Amino acid sequence: MDALNRSIGIDFRLWPHDVRLSQAWAEALGDAGVLSPEDCRTIVRGLDVVAERLGRGVAPIASDEDIHTLIDRLLHEEIGEPASRLHTGRSRNDQVATASRLWAMECADAMIGAAAALQATMLERCADLDGAIMPSYTHLQRAQPVAAAHWLLSHFWPLQRDRQRLIAARQSASALALGAGAVAGSAFPVSRERLRAALGFERISENSIDTVGDRDFIADLLYAFAMIGIHLSRFAEDLIMYGSSEFGFVRFGHTYTTGSSMMPQKRNPDALELARGSGARLLGDLTSLLVTLKGLPSSYSKDLQDDKRALFDAADTLMLVLPAVRGTLAELTFNRERMRAAVSSTMMATDLADYLVRKGLPFREAHAAVGRIVRAADERSVELHELSLDEFRKSHSLFDSGVYDALSAEGSVARRGAYGGTAPDALRVQLENARKALG
């Protein structure tokens, strides 16, 4: 039973928050006249000493069930009898909810910083891509040429949405749970408003039954983490692909890659693969929490102890993965020539159709005419720019010598100037907006 019940191995890291909330609770009991001023001072100072001991490292003993009972034992060791008065009117149920919320808020802040650091590196690397053109893909088939920085920024905006989700999750956590007691509230006249202010919460929870069983804030955080994991997995996949010899758009550095024990020539993008893989872990942690919550009776049940297993695992994972992806991106080199060489004139088929449209042809007819040309080029295994003007005119009489300009990749990119598009001016606006979003 002890082995099953113990959570100290997982919740040990809550100690700074548990100490802090316990000191706030002692003050609240003091203010309410439940504790003498002297006992209150003794407890607060005793908890400072306990925090120092915990900071230096304390090995839990067999009877330490969780971080709350461990701190209780240490406080007894330090100050004796007054320690027994601290637990008046509170329960580990409102205690663990409060400590978890404080931890979650701090964690959200750290994750927001780690995501912003990756975004900042993306913006820095855009400078190295200035003027570079590469293929864009749909269905992983060559589609249309784009500015390479436009591709990189396509991974910036998902992280921007992620940071907003993290801010929302932090707000969701920012409610004072202390004072809810075990389930029915506290029978001593403590000021929850003073507790709220002392611990830095935005609001006070409204219903003690709900409070001890509410883990929505953890679900919110785990969802935000899972989305980051999904976004990183897609960014990683792009980079892994672009780093293959077949693409050759990027070359990885040495710090975040590994060699092979057998093949001397290998430089494997392990950090990116682990980032891609850890998306599964983050989804698993979210799923595990949601399944834990589903169908639980209201208020606290011990099932909830496992919330922290999921939360800490996901947070630890992302805190390794985000900086590793950032580091990989910071040290890789872009091969602009390989990017440019992968743009073939056949990718300008849409531009050809647009060219006919500008000459007055309805788009559907233009699409059909270009379709005939693409088939002709395909049959002879040549690219569009290798066809003669005669061949173009066979498919439509509106073609003239201007057709070869329409096949320029730079021209194709430059024409896509609508807001959010890949043309240089639109890209400048986007970069400016990205810098502002990052703050």
Indicate which residues carry an active-site annotation.
139, 260
Q: Min. distance of Cβ 7 from ligand ARG in angstroms?
A: 4
**Residue whose CB is less far from ligand ARG, 92 or 326:** 92
Binding flags for ligand ARG, 76-95, as an x/- string (CB under 6 A): ----------------xx--
Strand 203-204 to 175-176 pairing? parallel
Strand partners, 135: 145
- Residue closest to 146 by CA, chosen among 339, 332, 329: 339
Pairing between strand 133-138 and 250-251? Answer: unpaired
- The 3-state secondary structure of 291-359, one letter per residue: HHHCCCCCCCCHHHHHHHHHHHHHHHHHHHHHHHHHHHHHHCEECHHHHHHCCCHHHHHHHHHHHHHHC
What is the footprint of ligand ARG within residues 374-413 (CB under 6 A)?
none
Binding status of residue 11 toward ligand ARG by CB under 6 A: yes
305 in contact with ligand ARG (CB under 6 A): yes
Cα–Cα distance, 157 to 115 (Å, whole number): 11
Which is nearer to ligand ARG, 31 or 303 (by Cβ)?
303
Binding segment toward ligand ARG, per CB under 6 A, in 185-193, 286-294, 298-306, 310-318: 298-306
The span from the CA of 135 to the CA of 138, in Å, is 10
Shortest Cβ 214–ligand ARG spacing (Å): 13
257, 267 in Cβ contact below 8 A?
Answer: yes
Binding test (CB under 6 A) with ligand ARG, winner from 43, 304, 310, 339: 304
Total number of residues shown for the chain? 439
- Using the rule CB under 6 A, is 96 a contact of ligand ARG? yes
The CB-of-97 to ligand ARG minimum distance in angstroms stands at 9
**Residue 93 or 345 having the CB closest to ligand ARG:** 93
| Residue 52 in tokens | 């120092």
Q: Name which of 12 and 157 has its Cβ closer to ligand ARG.
A: 12
Residue closer to ligand ARG, measured from CB, 97 or 153: 97
The interface mask with ligand ARG, positions 26-65, x = CB under 6 A, is: ----------------------------------------
Give, for 138, the enclosing helix (H) or strand (E). Answer: strand 133-138
List residues binding ligand ARG (CB under 6 A): 7, 11, 66, 92-93, 96, 300, 304-305
